Chains A and B, each alone.
Chain A
């Protein structure tokens, strides 16, 4: 098993190297990067000087080497617009993104599993039909529209929950200021609910369908009949014998979804004025502030890889066939 995880770790390193090459090349997207650092009326000499200063005249592999060396230390240079280190800017926004992704995923998993299991065991019942209609709708409606509707109905008409902005939770927790954390927990969660639902609704719907179909498949397999033939009660057949087997494909998908929620939540962040990393990166792309883009891309990829590592470890727990090979 350790060898299996070791191999996965090695793979992760290779993936990160690949990402670093991509991130590095971002800088060259709009042609000679030197022009990003000089103003429009710079003279030829000034341009040459900047080029030398920035090292853009050196061979590409040396430039990449330097980039990689910096990246490993978290140094992606300074933001062109803000003048601050790019990584610092990204890290400031990152807790907001993590919080939102976590809540979205929490909603997507905590409701999807019981709904999917129930729908599968009560196949073709009203409950099953209703769940499937809900899941269909949830996958079909665009997230931003659903977000706007939540704002309109829950926030504006009913005035139940705040419709935009954020109260930091993760930052005080990370700094060890537990007093601050607990006092702002209530408000923080209230702010998280609507964007959390809006970003989780799609995954929730898909996971419900996935859990249902995976459960149905497993419930039809011989070893379930074996368990029933032993005299195991139906509830235990479902929860003990079928559930763990049915979770194997679900874990894969959930792992991927976390990755998407981390990086692909830009629209929801915009709808709810959520100060997350997605908005920062879009802004940076528009402003050609490529150092921020590089820092953001590498950081997100890093988290994505870590989550997939966790998924792989979960696999070994779920499925002994992997553990012992």
Chain B
């Protein structure tokens, strides 16, 4: 192998009105021909800016490459003139992005967009370019590629669009592909398809791939080597297996430990304390020292350089793992936190707190009052389950499966089309206003996006205390204030945070505010709708620990909605799997993860990337897209993607049956 890309001491700054952002602060890395290099790190670590610098796609101003060199295939990228640069982009290096919904131009056909690049870099006729475009779509697994050429982007699903992006990226045989979070916006089963395509194409074209991601599972599966970045700097470069088995930098150690599933279940997750530092005002010395368990005085003064501490292991730390004594390493272990004692009622004695009976929710989508056929989206299609007191029940499934709608129905944020929700023995829908009001107090919700779920014009105090204004008639002012302070403390914030506005907080802190808002009325039941999926891994662990602590402290019952199966496994007692608004499998967590019986559950579990490069992957890759909930297939909804489907499945919808005590599944062939 020979070096294809060599970045040396790269510094990129953004000159903003608030100050200078040192987005990339002395990054050196290299990529061999045909190698997949994973670049991982949390948001703001500079991974995307580094990648875009390679193609000189940094918006200037405000951005500027102030220092360093980028050599690609013996070319000095930073010295290319305009013509050379245009030939370099798309010809030598190409790129795919995270968001397939916005990375294709909505006003041009797929054909226009594919042939544009081909014609720019190859001296061929338009007809030949179209032929090539069709061939590329074939390669990326797009069915009936020729017809698809005339489609516009909005007519394709997210997974299809990402295939088009890949087709576009490989159209001119580039030597390197930069994939910036290529599957983050996709569902797991679609992600599995895209990753497989990337692997196949890589071996076919012998491309180097720079894979940028925050998902340690995806890296483990795809990369040969990994670069770990933190606050604009590279902190560790390792071969993939070494990294997961023997991380040397304290940040890498922390990151790997904070993935749910890396510690034993029911334990608290390991947490990297604090938040990612502000790039406008980086600490002196090592940028990680404020969050590091092993920081010394030296770390505050001197920046650690990236050095090879042992063969193939480049680490930027004065106190990397092998240099530490055993005692020092023990600090790490104890900080993992005590195993929390499960002091809740034993499983047999639990009583159902929340019951969902045959819940149906249909949304009407129609043109307008003048017609346009009205269509019905079957968001939730007859779902039943119950959640016991003190239990964590999880709903998993891909987008459009109805998990969020179910959650909203359970706290009275939507009116069901059919069925009912029972909270603490009381039916919610059809009950008197007075009863509903009381039940609303018992059932609260935590939202996914900590940015849009808090009103930016309200002070934290008002946001958290709002529930008391509605339900706290019996409380005096003093009492209310005390309650707010108590709740704020219980979620790990301080009373001095109360007079501030949401924009002054980080994502993790905002999510704490959201949790405090849900807790203020002392509810019994909380719906947690993807509460950690917008957060970085290290912050995610903090919030998950908090949720667990609170649950035990207040004997809360959770409905946990998530798409991340590792997180679900970590937190839940029982899990239900939804597909197109129907429950396809429901079981105790260990039973479901250990012995999934429904073909969809099996595929879902196998599609989720494991943060372990050694993991054997006998993956079931589902073909096709999730059908539209407007026009679900006849019979079993899953049959269009199922390898066991027969004629019976097209005719008859399977019922949810108890196949062993507490384990339910709906499939004709189990």
A residues apposed to B, CB below 8 Å? 7, 10-11, 14, 124, 221-223, 225-233, 241, 244-245, 318-321, 324
With the chains together, A226 CA to B82 CA distance in Å?
Answer: 17
Query: Interface readout for B359-376 with A: 1 if CB under 8 Å, 0 if not?
Result: 000000001101110000
- B106 adjacent to A231 (CB under 8 Å): no
Contact of B105 among A227, A231, A324 (CB under 8 A): A227
Distance (whole angstroms) from the CB of A238 to the closest CB of chain B: 13
A-B contact pairs, 29 of them (CB 8 A): A7-B367, A11-B370, A221-B102, A222-B103, A223-B106, A225-B52, A225-B95, A225-B97, A226-B97, A226-B103, A226-B104, A226-B105, A226-B168, A227-B116, A228-B89, A229-B55, A229-B90, A229-B94, A229-B95, A230-B168, A231-B87, A231-B117, A231-B120, A232-B117, A318-B107, A320-B109, A321-B154, A324-B154, A324-B155
- B370 adjacent to A233 (CB under 8 Å): no
- B152 adjacent to A232 (CB under 8 Å): no
- B88 adjacent to A231 (CB under 8 Å): yes
Q: Which residue on B lies nearest to A245, using beta carbons?
A: B107
Q: A124-B61, A321-B152, A324-B155 are in contact. Are A7 and B370 (CB under 8 A)?
A: yes
Q: Which residues of A contact B154 (CB under 8 A)?
A: 320-321, 324
Q: Which residue on A lies nearest to B88, using beta carbons?
A: A231
Distance (whole angstroms) from the CB of B217 to the closest CB of chain A: 24
Contacting A at CB under 8 A, from B60-112, are 61, 82, 86-91, 94-95, 97, 99, 102-109
Q: A223-B102, A230-B94 are in contact. Are A7 and B372 (CB under 8 A)?
A: yes
Distance (whole angstroms) from the CB of B12 to the closest CB of chain A: 16
Q: Which residue on A lies nearest to B169, using beta carbons?
A: A229
- B106 adjacent to A321 (CB under 8 Å): yes
- B371 adjacent to A232 (CB under 8 Å): no
- A222 adjacent to B155 (CB under 8 Å): no
Q: A229-B95, A231-B86, A231-B87 are in contact. Are A10 and B370 (CB under 8 A)?
A: yes
Q: Which residues of A contact B61 (CB under 8 A)?
A: 124
Distance (whole angstroms) from the CB of B463 to the closest CB of chain A: 30
Contacting A at CB under 8 A, from B543-578, are none
Q: Which residues of A contact B117 (CB under 8 A)?
A: 230-232
- A245 adjacent to B91 (CB under 8 Å): no
User: Of B52, B87, B109, B370, which is in contact with the most chain A CB atoms at under 10 Å from its CB?
Assistant: B370
For the complex of A and B, the 4 pairs showing the least CB-CB separation, nearest first, are A231-B90, A231-B89, A230-B117, A222-B103
Distance (whole angstroms) from the CB of B5 to the closest CB of chain A: 15
Tell me if B532 is interfacial: C-beta within 8 Å of chain A: no
With the chains together, A11 CA to B371 CA distance in Å?
Answer: 11
Query: Which interface class (under 10, 10 to 19, 20 to 34, 35 or more) fits B?
Result: 35 or more
Q: Which residues of B contact A318 (CB under 8 A)?
A: 107
Q: Which residues of B contact A223 (CB under 8 A)?
A: 102-106
Contact of A222 among B82, B97, B168, B371 (CB under 8 A): B97
Q: Chain B binding site: helix, strand, loop or mixed by DSSP?
A: mixed
Contact of B106 among A10, A227, A232, A320 (CB under 8 A): A320
With the chains together, A321 CA to B151 CA distance in Å?
Answer: 11
Q: Which residues of A contact B152 (CB under 8 A)?
A: 320-321, 324
With the chains together, A7 CA to B373 CA distance in Å?
Answer: 12
Q: Which residue on B lies nearest to A223, using beta carbons?
A: B105
Q: Which residue on A lies nearest to B104, using beta carbons?
A: A223
Q: Which residue on A lies nearest to B90, using beta carbons?
A: A231
Contact of A319 among B87, B97, B106, B367 (CB under 8 A): B106
Q: Which residue on A lies nearest to B371, using beta carbons?
A: A7
With the chains together, A145 CA to B109 CA distance in Å?
Answer: 49
With the chains together, A7 CA to B368 CA distance in Å?
Answer: 10
Tell me if B301 is interfacial: C-beta within 8 Å of chain A: no
Distance (whole angstroms) from the CB of B561 to the closest CB of chain A: 28
Distance (whole angstroms) from the CB of B270 to the closest CB of chain A: 35
Tell me if B266 is interfacial: C-beta within 8 Å of chain A: no
- A230 adjacent to B106 (CB under 8 Å): no
With the chains together, A324 CA to B151 CA distance in Å?
Answer: 10
Distance (whole angstroms) from the CB of A252 to the closest CB of chain B: 16
Query: Interface readout for B105-134 with A: 1 if CB under 8 Å, 0 if not?
Result: 111110000001100110000000000000
With the chains together, A10 CA to B106 CA distance in Å?
Answer: 28
Q: Which residues of A contact B368 (CB under 8 A)?
A: 7
Distance (whole angstroms) from the CB of B88 to the closest CB of chain A: 7
Q: Which residues of A contact B94 (CB under 8 A)?
A: 229-230
Q: Which residues of A contact B52 (CB under 8 A)?
A: 225
Known: A223-B106, A241-B105. 18 other contacts (CB 8 A): A7-B368, A7-B371, A222-B97, A222-B102, A225-B52, A225-B103, A226-B105, A227-B105, A229-B55, A229-B89, A230-B117, A230-B120, A231-B88, A231-B121, A245-B107, A320-B106, A320-B107, A320-B152
Q: Which residues of B contact A222 (CB under 8 A)?
A: 97, 99, 102-103
User: Of B82, B91, B152, which is in contact with the most chain A CB atoms at under 10 Å from its CB?
Assistant: B152
- B103 adjacent to A231 (CB under 8 Å): no
Tell me if B57 is interfacial: C-beta within 8 Å of chain A: yes
With the chains together, A227 CA to B57 CA distance in Å?
Answer: 11
With the chains together, A14 CA to B117 CA distance in Å?
Answer: 47
Distance (whole angstroms) from the CB of A239 to the closest CB of chain B: 13
With the chains together, A318 CA to B108 CA distance in Å?
Answer: 10
Q: Which residues of A contact B109 (CB under 8 A)?
A: 320
Tell me if B636 is interfacial: C-beta within 8 Å of chain A: no
Q: Which residue on B lies nearest to A123, using beta carbons?
A: B61
Query: Interface readout for B330-346 with A: 1 if CB under 8 Å, 0 if not?
Result: 00000000000000000
Distance (whole angstroms) from the CB of B90 to the closest CB of chain A: 4
Tell me if B165 is interfacial: C-beta within 8 Å of chain A: yes
Distance (whole angstroms) from the CB of A3 to the closest CB of chain B: 8
Q: Which residues of A contact B121 (CB under 8 A)?
A: 231
Q: Which residue on B lies nearest to A7, using beta carbons?
A: B370
Distance (whole angstroms) from the CB of B423 to the closest CB of chain A: 40
Q: Which residues of A contact B371 (CB under 8 A)?
A: 7
With the chains together, A103 CA to B481 CA distance in Å?
Answer: 64
Distance (whole angstroms) from the CB of A230 to the closest CB of chain B: 4
With the chains together, A61 CA to B484 CA distance in Å?
Answer: 62
With the chains together, A45 CA to B438 CA distance in Å?
Answer: 71
Q: Which residues of A contact B103 (CB under 8 A)?
A: 222-223, 225-226
Q: Which residues of B contact A244 (CB under 8 A)?
A: 107
- B90 adjacent to A230 (CB under 8 Å): yes
Q: A223-B102, A318-B107 are in contact. Are A230 and B155 (CB under 8 A)?
A: no
Q: A232-B120, A321-B106 are in contact. Are A225 and B57 (CB under 8 A)?
A: yes
Q: A226-B168, A319-B106, A320-B107 are in contact. Are A233 and B97 (CB under 8 A)?
A: no
With the chains together, A244 CA to B104 CA distance in Å?
Answer: 14
Distance (whole angstroms) from the CB of B74 to the closest CB of chain A: 19
Distance (whole angstroms) from the CB of B96 to the closest CB of chain A: 9
- B116 adjacent to A232 (CB under 8 Å): yes
With the chains together, A319 CA to B95 CA distance in Å?
Answer: 26
Distance (whole angstroms) from the CB of B60 to the closest CB of chain A: 11
Q: A7-B370, A324-B155 are in contact. Are A229 and B106 (CB under 8 A)?
A: no
User: Of A223, A233, A244, which is in contact with the most chain B CB atoms at under 10 Å from its CB?
Assistant: A223
Q: Which residue on B lies nearest to A219, using beta carbons?
A: B59
Q: Which residue on A lies nearest to B117, using beta carbons?
A: A230
With the chains together, A222 CA to B117 CA distance in Å?
Answer: 16
With the chains together, A14 CA to B369 CA distance in Å?
Answer: 12
With the chains together, A144 CA to B88 CA distance in Å?
Answer: 55
Contacting A at CB under 8 A, from B593-620, are none
Distance (whole angstroms) from the CB of B622 to the closest CB of chain A: 27
Q: Which residues of A contact B105 (CB under 8 A)?
A: 223, 226-227, 241, 245
Q: Which residues of B contact A232 (CB under 8 A)?
A: 86, 116-117, 120
